[in-house]
Amino acid sequence: MTTATFTVRTGELVALRLFDIAYAIDLARAEAAWLTHAGRSSSRSRLASAPAKAIAFDVPPLQLLMDPIAVTLDGVTVEAQVSVRLYDFGVAALAVRVPIANAEWPAFVSQFNALDRTLGPSSPEGFWTALRDQVREVVGPALERPADSAALQEDYLLGKVHALDEPLTANELRERVDLAALLSGETRPLSEGARRDLLAQSLSYYADDLVVLTWDRAFIYEPRGDSDVADVIEVANAQLLELRYYDELLDDELPRMYGRVEEARGAVSLLAARRFAHLARGLYTLVAETTELTEKVDNALQVTEDVYLARIYSTALGLFRVASLSTSVDRKLAIIRDTYSALYEEASSRRAELLEIAIVLLIVLEVVLSLMRP
């Protein structure tokens, strides 16, 4: 691999921070509130280049523009664009976009790492929570069961190159620059094994485009300037965040469920049936709500014919271990469903026992009354 000498004519560095802000979001109401209070434009997101029948959002998320901010990278202050994309299943995806123009490749790498230090996972959280709270304050009426301030979050960085000072194919780009160093953020040389692992998820469709995905960063070389790849990666992060939320919710619910079941079984017979029925109704509601939302999350993006975006999407889901999280959620939901069925049967059995006792008592009462007649 030779040392790169080319210049990034146009590009973009993007820092994403995703928050779970509610159980669900009424996007139409949120759009109206944003227009009324913020007076800024909004749009329903769609993939720019992919045909609607090939790959499309199940429910198009709502993109809202926010006020630009000043970001300092490597001692240079630049103006960055800020936006938020709201998903109907309760996720707000904040994005800070720093434009890049006429930057030598080493400077591009340095600014990418500086963005990580400034707005990445180790950066002060107050910056992102202030933006999140600004959004929540405006669209609050559209939030169904808002999440608390300690809600889960995910972060991701994108380094995008649209034009170079000389046209390069994807293979030439791989040969001329150390993309592994860019994606790892490390200043020391990486081992051959580490480089191979970092570059394992490398995808191209045309000769002059390239996407390299890792757990927390991605490099996108897209001369046509399409945003579809970045949008697909964002959806995968949103699905990861929401499934993490439900996985932790069910983790917390299972011990409480076992405790409530034991408490109900310890109740006196006259109250046990009612407690079992009440507990079963609560578990049924939890299962129904969780199933409804996880299905929305699973179907957030419908992929049919666009093979390239489908590969990027499935690769991102695999990297983020979304499938294993989904399996974990399904397994815990199955435990709760089985418990619900057992409680319902036990409540029915207790009611039958009480009915039998009542019938026996009525028969005994009838016999006693008949014996007491003169």
Q: Encode the chain (374 residues) as per-residue pLDDT tens digits.
A: 555 578 899 999 999 999 999 989 999 999 999 988 766 666 666 665 555 555 667 788 999 999 999 998 888 888 999 999 999 999 999 999 999 999 998 899 999 999 998 888 777 778 899 999 999 999 999 999 898 766 789 999 999 999 998 888 888 888 888 888 889 888 788 888 888 888 889 999 888 899 999 999 999 999 887 788 999 999 999 999 998 988 888 888 777 777 766 665 555 455 555 666 666 677 667 777 777 777 777 777 777 677 888 899 899 999 999 888 888 888 888 887 777 666 666 666 666 666 777 788 888 877 777 777 76
Compute the distance between CA of residue 120 and CA of residue 98 in angstroms, rounded to an integer. Answer: 14
Assess whether 59 and 135 both reside in one domain: yes
Assess whether 97 and 207 both reside in one domain: yes
Residue 49: predicted pLDDT: 55
Q: Is residue 148 part of a domain?
A: yes
Compute the distance between CA of residue 154 and CA of residue 19 in angstroms, rounded to an integer. Answer: 7
DSSP-derived pairing of the beta strands 153-164 and 217-221: parallel
Pick the last residue of a domain from 207, 235, 263: 235
Q: Is residue 1 part of a domain?
A: no
Compute the distance between CA of residue 326 and CA of residue 324 in angstroms, rounded to an integer. Answer: 5
Assess whether 216 and 264 both reside in one domain: no
Assess whether 328 and 364 both reside in one domain: yes
Residue 366: predicted pLDDT: 78
Pick the last residue of a domain from 217, 235, 253: 235
Q: Is residue 355 part of a domain?
A: yes
At residue 344, the 3 state secondary structure works out as: helix
Model pTM score: 0.83
Strand-by-strand arrangement of the 62-73 sheet: 42-44, 62-73, 76-86, 91-104, 7-20, 153-164, 217-221, 210-213, 202-203
Assess whether 303 and 346 both reside in one domain: yes
E strand map for the chain: 7-20, 22-25, 42-44, 55-57, 62-73, 76-86, 91-104, 143-146, 153-164, 202-203, 210-213, 217-221, 301-303
Pick the last residue of a domain from 235, 257, 281: 235
Assess whether 158 and 35 both reside in one domain: yes
Assess whether 249 and 212 both reside in one domain: no
Residues in the chain: 374
Assess whether 200 and 99 both reside in one domain: yes
Compute the distance between CA of residue 366 and CA of residue 360 in angstroms, rounded to an integer. Answer: 10
Q: Is residue 289 part of a domain?
A: yes
Assess whether 289 and 336 both reside in one domain: yes
Residue 20: predicted pLDDT: 93
Range of the domain at 282: 243-372
Assess whether 118 and 82 both reside in one domain: yes
Q: Which of 246, 236, 218 is nearest to 300 (CA)?
A: 236
**Total structural domains within the chain:** 2
At residue 299, the 3 state secondary structure works out as: coil
DSSP-derived pairing of the beta strands 22-25 and 143-146: antiparallel
State how far the alpha carbon of 226 is from the alpha carbons of 19, 21, 111, 212, 252, in Å.
25, 28, 22, 16, 41
Assess whether 223 and 247 both reside in one domain: no
Tokens coding 57: 């959002």
Assess whether 137 and 188 both reside in one domain: yes
Q: Is residue 84 part of a domain?
A: yes
Residue 336: predicted pLDDT: 76
Residue 143: predicted pLDDT: 94
Q: Is residue 2 part of a domain?
A: no
Q: Is residue 227 part of a domain?
A: yes
Compute the distance between CA of residue 2 and CA of residue 172 in angstroms, rounded to an integer. Answer: 10
